Amino acid sequence: MTVALFNDKRVVMDKRFLGKRDNEINFISLPAAPAETIAVAFQKYLESRGYSANRLEEVWDGTNKSIIPGAGEMVIGGTIEDFAITVNSDLVQTEYACKVKLFVVLADPSKQAIKHQETIEVTSSLTTVPFSLDQAQQLMNNVLAEVVEKSLADIKSHLSLPTEQLSR
């Protein structure tokens, strides 16, 4: 199984910043590009389920015409449509709203064939009293993990391990 870098379609000035606080302050910057972060999340999830997963350091947008030859038996990729967290604070509470939306595609490069494709969107929110960067990051991590899990749950019939191994 190979995980390609996802094509980041978001229209933002600096794609590494995922959060905006009180509509003006950028926060939660990633050490790497979001495409890299998402590829790592998919790779780690697959490995935790017993798959051998390699990462391809090329962007694949999930289209049939751009399947990367030699990318392995199966390749996962697609596009990042939304990946953000918004925080609004007042004197009483802080509200966090997180959203991740991916177009996920599974393909067989040797046959130049798309096996499965779908858009997965997960949102979550949280309210706390003081602002906490740790809570914002944890919410973002939870939402990203849920997107990866939902994506792979729907494609397990196309993978070579028994389906019960994917749902462990």
pLDDT digits (tens, 9 = 90+) for 29-74: 777 889 999 999 999 999 988 888 999 999 998 888 888 887 888 9
Q: Are 93 and 22 in contact (CB under 8 A)?
A: no
pLDDT tens-digit readout, 69-87: 878 889 999 999 999 988 9
**Contacting residues for 31 by C-beta, under 8 A, at least 6 apart:** none
In the numeric block, the tokens 């918004």 are attached to 86
pTM: 0.84
Q: How much is the average pLDDT of 125-135?
A: 88
Which pLDDT belongs to residue 161? 45
**What is d(CA 18, CA 163) in angstroms, rounded to the nearest whole number?**
34
pLDDT of residue 31: 77
pLDDT at 91: 83
- Percentage of the chain exceeding pLDDT 90: 42
As a whole number of angstroms, the longest Cα–Cα distance in the chain is 58
- The CATH code of domain 2-166 reads 3.40.50.10610
Residue 115 has pLDDT above 50, yes or no: yes
- Classify residue 34 as left (phi > 0), alpha (psi -120 to 50) or beta: alpha
* Nearest CA among 63, 131, 123 for reference residue 95: 131
Mean pLDDT, all residues of the chain: 85
